[in-house]
Chain A
Amino acid sequence: MSSKDYPGQSAVEEQGWLKAHKWLLLRRASQLGILGLFMLGPVAGLWIVQGNLSASMTLDVLPLTDPLLLLQAIASGTWPVTTGLIGAGIVLAFYALIGGRVFCSWVCPVNLVTDLAIWLRRRFDLRATSRLSRDLRYWVLGVILILPALTGVMAWEYVNPVSMAHRGLFFGMGWAWAVLAAVFLFDLLVARHGWCGHLCPVGAFYGLIGTKAQVRVVAAERERCDDCMDCFNICPEPQVIKPALKGAAAGIGPVILDINCTICGRCIDVCSMDVFRFGTRSSQVAARMMVSGVKPGQTPGASKTA
């Protein structure tokens, strides 16, 4: 590949802008659609969903509760009522099944802010970045779960940009925009993917929920990879790609299993060689069978007896 101005340029040139932005557009539709659903009530008086991401009630029948917030409430010493627990159960089940950090890339409103920051970073070629550990988020997660037990106060909610942004849109921003501005500037000027990729304990929590999630990105056609690096450049968690993309020699399957993959699908978009696609966790098995010469319809056990 020749030198390019931005990741995905060759995909745009070879396959068209729309295909090179397909998952990004779907993702924006999901993020804005969810915001829109919440917005219909306060703006148009159409109350399909009430509340905010912390807890909501859809059409008076579907309760949803942020399990991380409920955990903090429990840590502070109060036991929630049944609707709260059911709501958290539904959310847990959804993300555990579909994919933990699907929340980050398809739902969370802060993603719009940090994506803008990284877009500007690429646009103006801002490379300077502080080196932070990507494990910091787990430390922060630990702290915010301990603090309610120590102080009796849901401490994280006094600064949480995620809930603050969402709540602010429907109940009034106040100074919450300043917190969002801080996150934006941090990502723009201090650390590349600083907030979502290193610090945010909400993302860390959803990642942990999705340890066994089914929907995964698969480097199904990894042998086609021409090392253009576009996927690494576009990915908010580039460390997750390498084992799946380059692990064939080491016997690692093509499914991106790392819990920090946000399943945003940008790697699929920007790859002009169509290496990546969405698949399931079991694609791993299917791929292994392909390697060992078993047809996808058969089970590995059947192949042995045959």
Chain B
Amino acid sequence: MAKPVSGKGAGVNRRQFMGEMLKSACGVGLFGLGLGVYSRSASSLPAAAIRPPGALPEDQFNGACIRCGLCVRDCPFEMIHLAKLGDPVPTGTPYFYAREKGCEMCEDIPCVVACPTNALDHALTDINQARMGLAVLVDQESCIAFHGLRCEVCYQICPIKDKAITLDRQHNARSGKHALFIPVVHSEHCTGCGKCEEACILERAAIKVLPEHLAKGELGPHYRLGWKQKEAAGGALVTPDGEHQYNLPEGMRYEHGGRGLIEGMPDLQPGVLPGPASGAEPLAEPGSVDALETLNRGAPL
């Protein structure tokens, strides 16, 4: 046995000391591993739970929020909760359910001002710039606007009415003589406050606030939208189309202005039907030939 090294360490030799250290290191290492894994897996936020305005992206929020509840206390409408242990939301962090009570979008944003850690980002000073989520009309089958009923509650209650939610007037094909007033959400204005979901008159809301990553698709960065490129460049970037020549059956022509395949020859007023085909072929008597049948038979007339 080795002798004790010095008077100070008397009674503990190096072997015992190393053993104790290793024991502590292993025990605490295991604890750390378990805690790390648990805390990561307990950090997922259910889609229905919405963070208060200005919340950092979820992966940063779970590190920044110290779970003090000051945002909860400073909310004048008492709609923010702190998650309890066992709730599906990370323990102690603030959230609200839009269906229960949406954010009233206070102009002075007291919840953000109260946050001591910047988990609710103090850079947010204009509540209209908040992006708590994005409202989506998820169920067009049950939304009564699609049945031709005048509801428009989500549209009327929207704090950024006519920008975040507009009404799109469409033809009611079922009745043939009425209009549909379809609510449409615009992501560039929607703050995700959830008032629409709260107010939806259905038993279960047809319009729901979802986290943006669930609500939105993302176009691949390699896509170039021709019309936007054209707008930005101030003109067409490709050589304009030449006139296409088609082997079309008699009595048919192709109109490049957008109408496509047309049966019959241009009207006598050339202004109404502009197009390269006008006057190019001999006139057939309208209705004298069934052009589709000609196409189907594949034989010339």
Chain A interfacial positions (CB closer than 8 Å to B): 41, 47, 50-52, 54-57, 63, 65-66, 69-70, 72-73, 75-81, 83-84, 87, 133, 135-136, 139-140, 142-144, 146-148, 150-159, 163-164, 167-168, 170-176, 178-179
Contact = CB atoms under 8 A, between A and B. Distances in A.
Contacts of A154: 39, 62-67
B153 interface: no
A188 B119 CA distance: 38
Interface stretch (B109-117, B134-142, B228-236): B109-117
Question: What size tier do the contact residues of chain B reach?
Answer: 35 or more
Given A51-B70, A57-B114, A158 B32 contact: no
A76 B74 CA distance: 25
A140 B32 CA distance: 8
B69 A73 contact: no
A76 B116 contact: no
A41 B24 contact: no
A261 to B, nearest CB: 21
B159 interface: no
A112 B40 CA distance: 31
25 contacts: A52-B68, A54-B68, A55-B68, A55-B70, A56-B68, A66-B66, A73-B119, A76-B64, A77-B60, A78-B119, A80-B118, A143-B31, A143-B32, A147-B36, A147-B39, A152-B60, A154-B64, A157-B66, A157-B91, A158-B90, A163-B92, A164-B91, A168-B84, A171-B82, A172-B81
A178 B86 CA distance: 10
Nearest to B112: A81
B202 interface: no
A179 B92 CA distance: 14
B64 A174 contact: no
Contacts of B117: 55, 70, 73, 78, 80-81, 84
Given A50-B73, A73-B63, A164-B91, A78 B68 contact: no
A13 B20 CA distance: 43
Nearest to B115: A81
Contacts of A143: 28-29, 31-32, 35
A47 B76 CA distance: 13
Identify the 10 closest CB pairs spanning chains A and B, nearest first: A174-B84, A76-B63, A84-B116, A55-B68, A155-B39, A175-B86, A78-B64, A143-B32, A139-B28, A175-B85
B214 interface: no
B28 A147 contact: no
A97 B221 CA distance: 58
A163 B67 contact: yes
Nearest to A41: B73
Contacts of A163: 67, 92
A146 B87 CA distance: 26
A143 to B, nearest CB: 4
Interface in B98-124: 114-119, 122
A74 B118 CA distance: 11
A147 B59 CA distance: 14
